[in-house]
Amino acid sequence: MATTKHLLLLFLLILTMITITSSTSLPFLTTEQNQIATKIIDAMISSGSFEDWSGAFLNNNDELNGPVLTSTLFLPKTSVEGINATSPLVASYHIVPQWLDFSVISLMMPFSRIPTLLSGHSIVVTNNSASGFTLDGVLISEPDLFVSPSIVIHRMAFPFNFSRYGGGHI
């Protein structure tokens, strides 16, 4: 009985640790990087539409005018009922704090996970064939739409659905 109690306590302790860890910001972002990320996401969600995300992203992450967040934006081409361009969760999930041009992404194997700015949620490689490379089941319709030394934008056929593919864990 004592053992069961100890196991239960240990389990609760681990659960608490997991909960605390997953609710904090990405461990590898500095305070400054987090501030840039917040600024970009705020601008994107106030732009109102997926179409305007790219301008908001570029204007607030300009390597000529200050510090940038090295990152990749997945820019949806069309909107989808139920996935809102003004949601901070949706916007955060479409940004990866890494420079991933198509030559890097195309080497990733199916089921590889790419952590996003939405804490605890990642994008998954669903098909890595050259003719139909998909992430979260969505086709990369225009790879490398924009590429600079610190930023990449890929156009996606549709927005990602983080509830379905995000994994809920790193």
Ligand X SMILES: *[C@@H]1O[C@H](CO)[C@@H](O)[C@H](O)[C@H]1NC(C)=O
Which residues are near ligand X by CB under 6 A? 80, 82-84, 86, 127, 129, 131-132, 161, 163-164
Nearest to 140 by CA among 94, 97, 98: 94
State how far the Cα of 91 lies from the Cα of 80, in Å rounded to an integer: 14
Q: How far is the CB of 147 from ligand X (least distance, A)?
A: 24
State how far the Cα of 106 lies from the Cα of 120, in Å rounded to an integer: 23
Q: Which is nearer to ligand X, 31 or 129 (CB)?
A: 129
Q: Which is nearer to ligand X, 103 or 163 (CB)?
A: 163
Residue 80 is classified by DSSP as B
Q: Which is nearer to ligand X, 66 or 82 (CB)?
A: 82
Q: How far is the CB of 96 from ligand X (least distance, A)?
A: 20
State how far the Cα of 156 lies from the Cα of 147, in Å rounded to an integer: 15
Q: How far is the CB of 118 from ligand X (least distance, A)?
A: 14
- Which residues have a Cβ under 8 Å from the Cβ of 42 and sit 6 or more positions away? 88
Residue nearest to ligand X (CB): 132
Q: Which is nearer to ligand X, 5 or 164 (CB)?
A: 164
